[in-house]
Chain A
Amino acid sequence: EPEVTQTPSHQVTQMGQEVILRCVPISNHLYFYWYRQILGQKVEFLVSFYNNEISEKSEIFDDQFSVERPDGSNFTLKIRSTKLEDSAMYFCASSSTGDEQYFGPGTRLTVT
């Protein structure tokens, strides 16, 4: 069964450093999303991406964040200068129709 994959599973970085989180969505899906979940809190929407552009972003997704689909299979989230409060699980999701979204296993980001 096709699934969303994410790498790395765990990333530790120092405050102020740049990180890139990588995702491979399900191959025939057209809609892509990033969410995050701070430990013990709700899953929160960050950004949606369709047709090679951002379609919606949340207030969390400020100028420190960017997304890219560099080729036909990868979808990345970049955080330019990480802060302690960026520590969270980051989930990539994809959808064929924009309705049901299928999530990856997540990347645990720890900022020290």
Chain B
Amino acid sequence: EDQVTQSPEALRLQEGESSSLNCSYTVSGLRGLFWYRQDPGKGPEFLFTLYSAGEEKEKERLKATLTKKESFLHITAPKPEDSATYLCAVQAFSTGGYNKLIFGAGTRLAVHP
């Protein structure tokens, strides 16, 4: 069964304190791995797509990396506005190509001034 596990469940950082969030996955043929940001009461906001091991993507203070078993979201010098829940999702190869996303439970990040 395709599965996504995120750790830690919650993370508290001081402003400027860099850290990493982990997403480990088991999937029957990875089509893509996706990172989203979700603010309370809002829909997931797309951040990155990664397709193959070794791939990296960057956006402002965030960098996502991918290996064959896991992905990391690195946050460099975070600011309070980076506080949110970060969701990891995978998409498996299947017939049809209209693939559902399978989400992890997320990491709740709180950045304090």
Contacts and interface: CB of A to CB of B under 8 A. Distances in A.
Asked if A and B bind, the verdict is yes
B34 to A, nearest CB: 7
B96 A106 contact: no
Interface residues of A, number: 26
Contact of A106 (B32, B43, B99): B43
Contact-residue size bin, chain B (C-beta under 8 Å from the other chain):
20 to 34
Interface stretch (A13-21, A40-48, A68-76, A80-88): A40-48
B97 interface: yes
Nearest to A9: B41
A46 to B, nearest CB: 9
Interface of A is mostly: strand
A33 B97 CA distance: 13
Contacts of A105: 42-43
A91 B43 CA distance: 7
Given A45-B102, A55-B96, A101 B46 contact: yes
Interface of B: 31-32, 34, 36, 41-46, 49, 87, 89, 91, 94, 96-106
Interface of A: 4, 31, 33, 35, 41-45, 48, 50, 55-56, 58, 89, 91, 98-106, 108
